[in-house]
Amino acid sequence: MRAIVAGMMALGLAAAMPPGPAQAQGKRYQYYEAFKRQKLLDCLADETAWKAYCLKKCLPDFRLDLTSDPPTCVATKLDAKFEPPKDDYQRPAKPRPRTDFSKSGT
């Protein structure tokens, strides 16, 4: 019975403690999903093997966390920044003409 009361008191004290400086200001560590590709033979020098995939090494100020599924790169500093790759695909000005194969002469 004493253990239960002591445990409840410890939980009450932990809840009454003020949050840490990062939580008080609303700051969070950034993270992103590690870039992966299907492993064919071996991984390259800048990759890490994980299950059937090769994972790219994380950016500076980030570390690879293999305990989560999918693996993530977690910031080691609060001011670490991750910019997602930009999609630079340019849509063609006019669509290609359709080819009608139903009217073939053979």
- Please tell me the distance from the alpha carbon of residue 96 to that of residue 82, in angstroms, as a whole number: 37
**Domain extent for 36:** 28-80
Helix (H, G, I), strand (E, B) or coil at 63: strand
Q: Is residue 102 part of a domain?
A: no
Q: Is residue 98 part of a domain?
A: no
How many domains in the chain?
Answer: 1
Q: Is residue 71 part of a domain?
A: yes
Percentage of residues in the chain having pLDDT higher than 70: 72
Contact 106, 68 (CB under 8 A): no
Note the pTM of the prediction, 2 decimals: 0.57
**Does residue 2 carry a pLDDT above 50?**
yes
The token pair that represents 87 in the structure block: 């999609």
Residue at 65: amino acid letter: D
Tally of CA atoms within 13 A in the half-sphere of 22 that contains its CB: 7
Q: Is residue 99 part of a domain?
A: no
Mean pLDDT of the chain: 78
Q: Is residue 91 part of a domain?
A: no
- Please tell me the distance from the alpha carbon of residue 69 to that of residue 7, in angstroms, as a whole number: 33
Give per-residue pLDDT as tens, 23-53: 446 678 899 999 999 999 899 999 999 999 9
Q: What region, left, alpha or beta, does residue 26 occupy, with left being phi > 0 and alpha being psi -120 to 50 degrees?
A: left
- Please tell me the distance from the alpha carbon of residue 92 to that of residue 54, in angstroms, as a whole number: 33
Contact 71, 64 (CB under 8 A): yes
